[in-house]
């Protein structure tokens, strides 16, 4: 070699291989430590023990007795006592829109629909909040009394209740546990389903069973939607099935 030239040396293959094996063993050991920590974690234990949400059962032998998707631009089978219910567009769909944001607390926003003698069956519809507030589904309404599914979006709370003219329309929960939390969001469609079979009422949101209640005071009656003032919603794909047909 000439002056100033550096000798090129080949790397020690045995040493390099040993280093790689040591790194691999260390990584495997670290992964084992992490997995052991996860398996002993109380959080993971709670997650594994959490029950799978109950989902809506098939409709079986029920008969469809009412259906409206508003695609023809009308709200067939509906009756309104105020002018703030309109058929509107939501992207490519036509829907029923309701807006009580310009109303005061003593004004009513009510839409009746479907059969007048609903008893044992299923009520299902899609709901989307545009301005979050209180939305009611009133069912088995007759002779100044009704059952209510109340979606109180402002407090993220849903409840099953009875009220009547005789008690000045004061809410009475089916039971002390006839309420449940839910997440109210704007611009998100939620499928609401009410199953009524005798004294038992079961509520599902997006197919998940969230609430049940029992009450024997009302046997059959009309169906209504209504809202608290300051609320704005869209409704679509409203269907009613009967177990009695």
The answer to whether residue 100 scores a pLDDT higher than 50 is: yes
Which has the minimum average pLDDT: 42-51, 59-68, 192-201? 42-51
Q: Would you state the pLDDT for residue 108?
A: 77
Q: Would you state the pLDDT for residue 244?
A: 83
Q: How far apart are CA 209 and CA 165, in angstroms?
A: 30
Cβ-Cβ contacts under 8 Å for 81 (sequence gap 6 or more): 108, 110
Of 177, 98, 82, 176, nearest to 137 by C-alpha is: 98
Q: Would you state the pLDDT for residue 183?
A: 94
What's the rounded mean pLDDT across residues 110-120? Answer: 96
Q: Would you state the pLDDT for residue 2?
A: 44
Highest average pLDDT, of 38-47, 138-147, 170-179, comes from 138-147
Where is pLDDT greater, at 243 or 23? 243
Q: Strand 121-131 relative to strand 189-197: parallel, antiparallel, unpaired?
A: antiparallel
The answer to whether residue 1 scores a pLDDT higher than 90 is: no
The answer to whether residue 10 scores a pLDDT higher than 90 is: no
Q: Would you state the pLDDT for residue 83?
A: 84
DSSP 111-127: EEEEEEEE-SEEEEEEE
Q: How far apart are CA 220 and CA 127, in angstroms?
A: 24
Q: Would you state the pLDDT for residue 43?
A: 38
pLDDT digits (tens, 9 = 90+) for 18-59: 555 444 444 345 444 433 443 444 433 433 444 445 555 566
What is the value of pTM for the model shown?
Answer: 0.77
What's the rounded mean pLDDT across residues 88-102? Answer: 95
- Contact of 136 with 146, CB cutoff 8 Å: no
Percent of the chain clearing pLDDT 70 (strictly above): 74
């Amino acid at each position: 070699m000439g002056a100033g030239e550096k000798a090129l040396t080949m790397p020690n293959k045995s040493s390099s291989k040993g280093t790689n094996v040591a790194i691999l063993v260390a990584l495997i050991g670290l992964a084992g430590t992490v997995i052991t920590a996860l398996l002993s974690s109380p959080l993971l234990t709670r997650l594994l023990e959490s029950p799978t949400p109950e989902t809506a059962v098939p409709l079986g032998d029920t008969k469809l007795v009412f259906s409206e998707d508003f695609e023809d631009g009308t709200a067939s089978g509906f009756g309104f006592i105020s002018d703030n219910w309109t058929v509107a567009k939501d992207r490519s769909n036509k829907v029923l829109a309701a807006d009580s944001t310009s109303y005061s607390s003593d004004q009513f926003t009510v839409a009746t629909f479907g059969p007048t003698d609903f008893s044992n069956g299923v009520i299902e519809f899609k709901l989307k909040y545009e301005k979050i507030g209180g939305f009611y589904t009133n069912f088995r309404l007759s002779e100044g009394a009704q059952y209510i599914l109340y979606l109180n979006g402002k407090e993220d709370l849903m409840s099953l209740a009875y009220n009547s003219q005789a008690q000045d329309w004061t809410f009475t929960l089916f039971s002390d546990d006839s309420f449940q939390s839910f997440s109210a969001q704007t611009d998100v469609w939620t499928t609401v389903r009410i199953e009524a079979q005798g004294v038992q009422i079961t509520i599902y949101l997006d197919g998940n069973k969230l609430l049940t209640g029992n009450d024997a005071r009302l046997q059959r009656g009309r169906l209504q939607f209504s809202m608290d003032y300051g609320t704005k919603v869209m409704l679509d794909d409203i269907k009613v099935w009967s177990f009695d047909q």
